[in-house]
Amino acid sequence: MRGLKLGAGLVALLAIAVPAMAETTVLNNVTVIDGTGAAPQPNSAIVMTDGKIVWVGPVSALKTPAGATVKDLSGKFVMPGIIDSHVHIGMMHDVTQDEKYETPENVQADLKQYAAYGVTSVQVLGTDKDFVLDMRNQQRKSRPSMARIFSAGQGSVIKGGYGGLVGVTNPISTPEEGRKLVDEQAAKGVDFIKLWVDDERKTIPVKMPPAVSAAIIDEAHKKNLRAVAHIFYLADAKELIREGINGFAHMVRDQPVDDELLNMMKAKNVWMVSATLSREMAYSLAIMPWLNDPFFTRGVTPGTLIALKSMDREKAVVMGPTRFPGLPYEKKVFFDMDRTLIQALENYQAMVNAGVETGMGTDSGPNGRFPGFNAHEEMQLEVAAGRSPLDAIKSATSDNARWLGDNNIGSIAAGKWADLLVLDKDPVADIHNTETIDSVYIAGNSVPTIWQTCRDRPESQCQPRPADLPDMPY
């Protein structure tokens, strides 16, 4: 059979051929950071059609489709949209946490805020009402214009113990109740199963026992679902690995991790899903150094700013005990949280050096953790712990996509969703440059950035974007 030979130009045109009336946009003259850890590619172009990337490569090889909108982004950098593998959405009003605030309107406001910061996908770990799953399902049938949702539904909390959201998560007491809860969540179509194994540094008298956690993990696996656990203690991490856990939602923080744990995690392919270093940072600071930084202030409510600047908060961090609104027990702001932060940073570095699978997640959403903003801080802390900026970007993009099991997001390649973050400055040269947001795309839809939005107040009441970004106070 005689083969058909096509010219290189025709092959290139066919590769990016688009249907009639398709919506096509070309981002031209950019440096592409594809999220895989590969070296940045200058003088590149990206073609996206109907929300998908259909071509990416050097400008010299670009064949612009007829009718395409071409955006000259000379000097700019494009990376995949950030994925935050640990959040909670719609549960706050200012600094008060309550299930009554988890409404479709408040959830959408959070998802739009994540998007404004370039966080194009989030994994919600265990505090979702059922309507959030409905929103997720609708997203997957369309081209969303706010952050994509991956949901663990309602997580597993031991009765009288730590975790969850009162009024949303239903506490359990026995292995049988744990299995039943997993079955209910699986029937709803959750993406993961979440469980909490903690006693808040021994301030709560009850902690989920191994018999219950083992039953939850086993039932999750029977339903072909992975289980991710909130932990604090090294001993609990090891026990949960023996029970078959798939990932941890927080870093071990009570003591240094040892070779036994690291070897167990690698042997069983247990992920450090979200180290939540920014969470530990937030709790360790009596005065947050970013309280006047517009990259932060534009994304929080006026009431939140007032509370964060109050003397009461400073006293709580310095002196210790306080009571957080919306919680059924006295939650302490421990005066030695700076030591916990350092332990988390050291353990994170040990896991990375050992080759443990690591994603990027913040635990943002509850009191003191800030949707979107914390994702940038988390990557900065990963670099502070010894990672390169390129590796930190990889953890927040393609690595997190691997954890989520979604091959359509997390990197810049033909066939992927066009979830993109366009930056004015090079984040590989300085990870703080992820804050120099020029534009954000979700499924090819251009969405308002944090420099175009102002949470719960008119744009005129927000600080303008500084001319010399990044202009970090720390």
pLDDT per position in the chain (474 positions), as tens?
333 333 444 334 444 444 447 899 999 999 999 999 999 999 999 999 999 999 999 999 999 999 999 999 999 999 999 999 999 999 999 999 999 999 999 999 999 999 999 999 999 999 999 999 999 999 999 999 999 999 999 999 999 999 999 999 999 999 999 999 999 999 999 999 999 999 998 989 999 999 999 999 999 999 999 999 999 999 999 999 999 999 999 999 999 999 999 999 999 999 999 999 999 998 888 788 899 999 999 999 999 999 999 887 777 776 665 555 555 555 556 656 778 999 999 999 999 999 999 999 999 999 889 999 999 999 999 999 999 999 999 999 999 999 999 999 999 999 999 999 999 999 999 999 999 999 999 999 999 999 999 999 999 999 999 999 987 766
Match 């939005």 to its residue by tokens: 453
Residue 269 dihedral angles phi and psi, to the nearest 5°? 55, 45
Question: What pTM does this model have?
Answer: 0.93
Cβ atoms of 122 and 111 within 8 Å: the answer is: yes
Residues 6 or more apart whose Cβ sits within 8 Å of residue 54: 15, 16, 18, 24, 47, 48, 414, 415
DSSP secondary structure string, 94-126?
A: TTEE-GGG--HHHHHHHHHHHHHTTEEEEEE-S
> Which domains are assigned to the chain?
82-406 (3.20.20.140)
Torsion of CA 337, 349, 36, 389, to 10 degrees: 70
Amino acid at 243: E
